[in-house]
Structure 1
Amino acid sequence: MRRAATAAEALHGLIRVRPHGWLASPLPTGPAAAADLLHAARRSHGHPAADGPLRLLAARATAAVASLGDPPHAVLKLHADPGAYNTEVVAFALVGDSPLLPSLLSAADASRSLLIEHIPHAVDFSVLGAAAVVDAVAAVHAAPDFLGPPAADVFAPFRLDRLAAAPPPPWLPEPAAWADVLGPCLDAYGGRRIPVGHLDLKPEHLRRRDDGHLVLLDVETLRPDITGLIDLITLPAVLRQAGVLLPGREVLDLYREAARRHGIQWTADSLRAALTAYRRATGLATLDGLAD
């Protein structure tokens, strides 16, 4: 019997190890120093949600995170790297209107920090089930369809018809296979749509609001050029980590049905073909049974 892949193994081949010293200005990892920076950052927002007691949640060289309020009503996230900050702002611009994501309350370029809605509750996966998780991911993949005119113009270079006419991304180990990825995506999405993907999927990043609705946290990894296929490839491993055991082919069927509800018209054959080409183009180690 084939051993199931972990989430890390599913992404093997896309992981790029950063060189030592890549971060020009790392943040302090000591709790007191990180809290001081967060206190200063929240003053740059001028938003009512920036008020209230600050509780440090994470102090890393790359980012510092705190909840605000008692009980918490917002999360303050401070980035060390300008690129990471800009990427998260762009992700919210692309998909932030989706109710499946926390609301971005404020972004402060001067402090490279974001003020984000606090989502209070953990998810009971034995109650939620796989279908709701898969549907949430598919809904985020379709979220750029609702961009207003200014944002739609800004992000037009990432439409599928434009990506298909452009050279393959330079980071691909097998760029010749990229056309075989985008062909089925064009058929499923339509040329004018933007194929967002690369959510930071893990069980702890799925939360629920007071009304019970599911929310996906942390969109800083989301990109408008990588397609949602990478999230589908990661889903079987993420569900296993949450205690929801489902064969890859069943995850594939759930995703295809969910995508259709959100206007993305995959067939079983076209989705398997796209996944197989994606593995070839990116050097991924496994498709976790999705294309069997």
Structure 2
Amino acid sequence: MTTAPATAAQALTGLARTRPTGWLPTPMPADPADLLLRAHQALAADHPGETGRISLLSGRYTAAVFAVHRPPPQGSLVLKLHADPAAYAGETLAYALLADTAPVARLYAEGEKSLSLLLEYLPEPAEWSGPRTPAVLAERVAAVHTASLRLPGEAAEAMAGFTLAALRHAPAPAWIADPAAYAEVLAAHTDAFGPGLVPLGHLDLKPEHLRRRPDGDVVLLDVESVRPDVTGLIDLVTLPAVLRQAGHEFSPARVLGLYLDATAARGARWTTGTLKSALRAYAAATGLESLHGLDR
């Protein structure tokens, strides 16, 4: 497998499946004026107590994000609208799993009619130039990957069908290219975490998704892509590219070490050898073309 530098977008070549044009029946409108109208309608339909000037932060085919500027001392909010009901359901599930157990933006309210979320507004980017930032990012990623080990009882019961114990007795997902290799990945995770872990992963890692609260706490944004069953290895493969994109030239071995330390601090029993073996099995299971030197 090659070790040539890859961008964050290229890191998962072979695994990512590109959807065909027009796959979403009712995408978000392209006109900013139409998006703002949609935002006002969402607040009125599902969040009638919230008022304030609304500005568009980003608009995509599948979702749009707005700032709701409220007067002090309330502080602003983020309003996120989904066009895809499945993505909305996935993001609400991710917040339910991560809100009390991992460093992500706070979720204040959900709106089922408008497929909307009201979230913490975090305009301040994290400081990427500091020498501690790579370790902080690894810690934040590890917190997400191990979040299910710290779920309250009711949430843990609700996710029982997605634990490693359940997944190892279920058919491999349709997106898996090699079920036998996928079984190796699940077995390695069971050895590292125990059978009760829900293997969360698939963070949309990029520098702009690491933000800082006024108190200095660093949190991750945009968890809509997080899902059970993919495992955190997908994010480990992306980490070297994200750090390089942010200006940190870390060797694959050093990135692997950061992840080993961060997960060990949260209860994992990985070794360098077992983690590399799991990565190789993951590549075989998913069709991933390169591990970018992490398995060397």
Fold match, TM over 0.5? yes
1:60 and 1:194 map into 2 onto residues whose CA distance is 30
Spell out the pairing of 1:140-289 with structure 2 (5 A cutoff).
140-289=144-293
Q: Provide the identity percentage.
A: 48
Deviation digits for residues 161-219 of structure 1 (CA, Å, limit 9, x no counterpart):
11111111111122221111111100001001111000000000001100111110000
Q: Could you tell me how far 1:47 is from its partner in structure 2? A: 6.7
Uncovered stretches (5+) of structure 1, i.e. residues with no partner: none
- State the partner residue of 1:64: 64
Confirm or deny that 1:94 pairs with 2:97.
yes
- Structure 2 contact 4–292 (Cα < 8 Å) conserved: no
Deviation digits for residues 104-123 of structure 1 (CA, Å, limit 9, x no counterpart):
10001111000011113112
Spell out the pairing of 1:17-96 with structure 2 (5 A cutoff).
17-46=18-47, 50-69=50-69, 73-96=76-99
Q: What's the TM-score, normalizing by structure 2?
A: 0.94
- State the partner residue of 1:124: 127
1:3 and 1:195 map into 2 onto residues whose CA distance is 28
- Structure 1 contact 47–106 (Cα < 8 Å) conserved: no
Q: SS at 1:7's partner residue?
A: coil
- Structure 2 contact 82–115 (Cα < 8 Å) conserved: yes
Equivalent position amino acid for 2:97 in 1: L
- Count, aligned residues: 291
Deviation digits for residues 4-41 of structure 1 (CA, Å, limit 9, x no counterpart):
12222221122111123211111211011100000111
1:148 and 1:99 map into 2 onto residues whose CA distance is 13
- Structure 1 contact 74–116 (Cα < 8 Å) conserved: yes
- Structure 2 contact 102–140 (Cα < 8 Å) conserved: no
1:214 and 1:104 map into 2 onto residues whose CA distance is 16
2:76 and 2:136 map into 1 onto residues whose CA distance is 25
- State the partner residue of 1:137: 141
Equivalent position amino acid for 1:114 in 2: L
1:54 and 1:89 map into 2 onto residues whose CA distance is 22
- Cα pair distance change 1:99/1:147, threshold 3 Å: closer
- State the partner residue of 1:8: 9
Deviation digits for residues 83-128 of structure 1 (CA, Å, limit 9, x no counterpart):
1111111111111223510111000111100001111311221124
- Structure 1 contact 135–258 (Cα < 8 Å) conserved: yes
1:99 and 1:149 map into 2 onto residues whose CA distance is 16
